[in-house]
Structure 1
Amino acid sequence: MPSPTAPTSPTATPTAPGSLPLLGHVHRLARDPLPFITSLREHGGVVRIRIGTTPAYVVTDPALTRRVLVTDAADFAKGGKIIDALRVFFGDGLATVADGDTHLRNRRLMQPMFNKAHIATRSTAMIDQVRALVTDWPEDIPRDVFADMNDVTLAAFLVALFGTDLPEHLQSDFTALMPEIMKGTIRQTVLPSWLNRLPLPANRAHADRVRRLRELVDQAIDHRKVSAPPSGSADQATEPPGCPHALRTQQEAGLFDTLLNAEDPLTHQQLQDEAITLLTGAIETTGATLAWALYEISRNPRIEERLRGELTSVCADRPLADGDLDHLPYARLVLQESIRKYGPAWMVTRTATRDVHLGGHRIPQGADVVWSPYLHQHDPAFFPEPDAFDPDRWTAERASITRGSFLAFGDGRRKCIGENFAWSQLQIILATILQTWPRLELVGRPPAAQAVVTVKPDTMAMTYSRQAAA
């Protein structure tokens, strides 16, 4: 039954122009998704589009999106085309598992992994890993920035998740496999579900890679089970603080130990699903954010100068340390503006669990409800000159106007559990690159934003130099 607060005569929901027979708005979503999704704001707070012949309801008003995510979340379950496609790959990981007791239980088990104190225990290992990789880049040779950022992000996250003693062959296998896995997953989210079920070569290759990924995850989990002492074990209880063995054990530990030592343990399948969800979520979105941040820094000398000045004032000539992250506020502003301007996600779906009214519009049970962080974060009512890259819009004096419209990490009970970790990882990688390379220079044409699951650059080549610009 409709919500008791629903109006007796709901307003007719406007349909976006340009729908084609049988295709609906698929041609616009494929050809120019970002201009199309932001244009829907002109037609109202809730706008109907058609994906093929199936209607979907796009929420363009951030206040209504917060109702979907927070106030009336029970009426809008995690689901829809994108989530259903990702679930084939992720299984029932935290990002895709249906609302209910399983989601609440798994989130409760995983929450300690991502509190700030626990993340801080992994920062030194991540800094060391990132520095080793970044220092090895050849000087003055054009490199694929997005690929580099994904590789560095994955390496740092593997160290954080599975510990510093993860066998080298597992690290290299993960690094080789994940880019192809992401391409196949993205392909399956944009193609019709019936096409993904056909025994096509691309579908078979993707299925083989997913099986291989699950094998690697199994090996990493088995390694942690052998390496990690059980929570509350005699070894942990008797080791004096500061002894070499205790320090080595802490250094080698991984965030995943939290799940392995949980009093209410996950099944083998659930451990697999959560590891894959964490790995994928940590790579594509973080890699895209860092690539765009480096692009904006390379084309804004004043921003680069402020960043490097802040880093020098905090670290001087020594390498970055965990305690420095809280003293780099401008770097945080630059990263937040990168997330605002470029996503990372541009379209997220929910499913109406019953007939509901939203902003005076009736949405039928089972309908896809779409919200877009990209759309909200380019709303000129909250972000003046939204296409400008302006980190200072996030200063305390100016940020109040944006409250409620920055939804890159979602909100409510399905808000991204890894937000604290993402900020630490982003700052570590950005600061380490700037410390290692005094000059960054874009090579070739400026990148264009390409919307698939995340908003990523279509191409981006850059050279790194140890010789500062004159």
Structure 2
Amino acid sequence: MTASSTFTPTPSAPGGLPLLGHAHLLARSPLPFITSLRRHGSVVRIGIGTTPAYVVTDPALTRRVLVTDAAHFAKGGKIIDALRVFFGDGLATVADGDTHMRNRRQMQPMFNKAHIARRGAAMIDRVGSLVASWKEGEARDVYADMNDITLAAFLVALFGTDLPENLQGDFTALMPAIMKGTIRQTVLPSWITRLPLPANRAHAERVARLRHLIDQAIDHRSNTLDTGGAEEAGCPHAKAAQEQEGLFATLLTAVDPLSRQQLQDEAITLLTGAIETTGTTLAWTLYEITRHPGIEQRLREELDAVCAERPLRYEDLEKMPYARQVLQEAIRKYGPAWMVTRTATEDVDLGGHRIPRGADVVWSPYLHQHDPAYFPDPEVFDPERWSPGRAGATRGSFLAFGDGRRKCIGENFAWSELQIILATVLRTWPRLELASRPPAPQAVVTVKPDVIRLAYYGSGQRETGGTPGK
């Protein structure tokens, strides 16, 4: 939709400084600043340095950017450009066009519900063994634990149950530093990230090491598939081999296969998405549970009603609607993403505001999901918002997974992984206690906690794949 000749003047946010624009506010108090823009209009102009950007505060207009008029708002902008250095041309960062559509079609079968269900038992076993290994009463870094567990579960799902232990260990050791470096690259000016500084060189070396690990995992999976390819459909080993292979086998056996570089890019994108957003959500969820005994009790009652004394099964997840409500409220309250960018491909009329060609257009899941017009008392943690009788009122304003043709391809997987990990923690440990001060949210790529430490107690654990404290 090309821009019209009559426009509503686009208001500028107050507080801008020469040369810096609003960068100092985005750096010092990003969440209060981004949510404050709502009161200035449905589209608000800010300065990121000397570059203007247009923040969309109305969820209906954001849906136009993502869905209705998506052809005029390409995947791009400062955040995407910075992430592209790390992700390459994975689904999250590749430009709109034939390559994106081709790769998305190739990957879509990996994330249908039936395909994910085949990985359910392996994920439950892996998560259970890790959660049961924690020492009773030890104050643990919840954010680090949740990132480690989500990575371990996703590695099992992505590359299969027979991934060599040394590769699993290398991934686990490398990814926290990779994520820290990627965040640094995102928030710093591009000219700084291009300098031959020690931190930049170290990050580049880690990324190269990660790509080497992914190559090894791909080769391992390819060799296994080649070895098992001659097995007849009725062979008793065929089912076991199929259970081992993992989601990534779908790409390796595609009729129109991706190049090795594309396989690396997609694996990095999937791993990073699985860790950062899922781990952040779980950390905030466990924190909120410690603050709300009534919510914790109801979660445990639901788990008991579904599982009784037996281990968790994948098919149990759909029978636990309250657990999903709790997780959805954590996603709603804490983001997880707080700022996402698009680039206008031509002069566009957006709600009567002129968006010039090449301008960054910013939308914020955090801003929309704290809009009191859709979420009364947005700072209150209230899972009942998502009960069947009330959830309809929020339609169109919950955008944590995006929307339109660039909507997160792994949403189904994310819900499964979130529910598996939450259920496993609660069934393994009968009591959780906050062992640190209340956390403060930090807006980096996601809205992460600055610190959360929990202690886990209880010797009356059920069978979950291990014995706590052992």
| TM-score interval for Structure 1 and Structure 2 normalised by the shorter chain | over 0.9
Give CA-to-partner distance per residue, 1:297-346, whole Å, 9 cap, x none: 01100000000000000101111111101101100000000000000100
Asked if the contact 1:229–1:235 (Cα under 8 Å) also holds between the matched residues in 2, the reply is no
Alignment partner, residue 313 of structure 2: 321
Specify every segment of 5 or more residues in structure 1 that has no aligned partner in the other structure, as ranges.
none
Matches within 5 A, 1:235-384: 235-239=231-235, 243=236, 245-384=237-376
Displacement of 1:230: 8.3
Alignment partner, residue 115 of structure 1: 112
1:77 aligns with 2:69: no
For the residue of structure 2 that corresponds to 1:77, the secondary structure is strand
Alignment partner, residue 463 of structure 2: none
TM-score, normalised on structure 2?
Answer: 0.97
Structure 2 CA distance for aligned equivalents of residues 454 and 345 of structure 1: 4
Structure 2 CA distance for aligned equivalents of residues 90 and 125 of structure 1: 27
1:91 aligns with 2:83: no
Matches within 5 A, 1:165-184: 165-184=162-181
Counterpart code for 1:439: R
Q: After the TM superposition, which of the residue ranges 393-402 and 221-230 deviates more from structure 2?
A: 221-230
Matches within 5 A, 1:176-195: 176-195=173-192
Structure 1 CA distance for aligned equivalents of residues 243 and 162 of structure 2: 9
Counterpart code for 2:283: A
TM-score, normalised on structure 1?
Answer: 0.97
Structure 2 CA distance for aligned equivalents of residues 360 and 16 of structure 1: 18
Structure 1 CA distance for aligned equivalents of residues 395 and 291 of structure 2: 28
Alignment partner, residue 65 of structure 2: 68
Give CA-to-partner distance per residue, 1:410-455, whole Å, 9 cap, x none: 0000000000000000000000000000011001210000000000
Alignment partner, residue 385 of structure 1: 377
For the residue of structure 1 that corresponds to 2:233, the secondary structure is helix
Asked if the contact 1:230–1:261 (Cα under 8 Å) also holds between the matched residues in 2, the reply is no
Number of equivalent positions: 460
Structure 2 CA distance for aligned equivalents of residues 263 and 467 of structure 1: 51
For the residue of structure 1 that corresponds to 2:423, the secondary structure is helix
Alignment partner, residue 468 of structure 2: none
Asked if the contact 1:70–1:411 (Cα under 8 Å) also holds between the matched residues in 2, the reply is yes
Counterpart code for 2:348: V
Alignment partner, residue 210 of structure 1: 207
Structure 1 CA distance for aligned equivalents of residues 14 and 459 of structure 2: 53
Displacement of 1:8: 2.7
For the residue of structure 2 that corresponds to 1:11, the secondary structure is coil
Specify every segment of 5 or more residues in structure 2 that has no aligned partner in the other structure, as ranges.
461-470
Structure 1 CA distance for aligned equivalents of residues 230 and 198 of structure 2: 52
Counterpart code for 1:193: S
Displacement of 1:228: 1.9
Counterpart code for 1:372: S
1:129 aligns with 2:126: yes
Asked if the contact 1:439–1:467 (Cα under 8 Å) also holds between the matched residues in 2, the reply is no
Asked if the contact 2:436–2:451 (Cα under 8 Å) also holds between the matched residues in 1, the reply is no
Question: Hey, which bits of structure 1, 4+ residues long, moved more than 4 A?
Answer: none
1:153 aligns with 2:153: no
Structure 2 CA distance for aligned equivalents of residues 275 and 7 of structure 1: 42
Asked if the contact 1:382–1:401 (Cα under 8 Å) also holds between the matched residues in 2, the reply is yes
**Are residues 122 and 110 of structure 1, via their aligned partners in 2, closer, same or farther at CA, if it must alter by over 3 Å?**
same
Displacement of 1:247: 3.1
Q: C-alpha root-mean-square deviation of aligned residues, in Å? A: 1.1
Give CA-to-partner distance per residue, 1:24-64, whole Å, 9 cap, x none: 00010000000000000000000000000000000000000
Displacement of 1:385: 0.5
Alignment partner, residue 197 of structure 2: 200
**Are residues 236 and 450 of structure 1, via their aligned partners in 2, closer, same or farther at CA, if it must alter by over 3 Å?**
farther
**Are residues 319 and 311 of structure 1, via their aligned partners in 2, closer, same or farther at CA, if it must alter by over 3 Å?**
same
Asked if the contact 1:450–1:458 (Cα under 8 Å) also holds between the matched residues in 2, the reply is yes
Displacement of 1:294: 0.2
Structure 2 CA distance for aligned equivalents of residues 229 and 332 of structure 1: 39
Alignment partner, residue 39 of structure 2: 42
Structure 1 CA distance for aligned equivalents of residues 285 and 226 of structure 2: 39
Alignment partner, residue 440 of structure 1: 432
**Are residues 306 and 236 of structure 1, via their aligned partners in 2, closer, same or farther at CA, if it must alter by over 3 Å?**
farther
217, 223, 228: which one pairs with 2:225?
228
Structure 2 CA distance for aligned equivalents of residues 438 and 42 of structure 1: 44
Structure 2 CA distance for aligned equivalents of residues 286 and 385 of structure 1: 25
Give CA-to-partner distance per residue, 1:235-254, whole Å, 9 cap, x none: 14342xxx3x1232122111
1:406 aligns with 2:398: yes
Asked if the contact 1:166–1:223 (Cα under 8 Å) also holds between the matched residues in 2, the reply is yes
For the residue of structure 2 that corresponds to 1:312, the secondary structure is helix
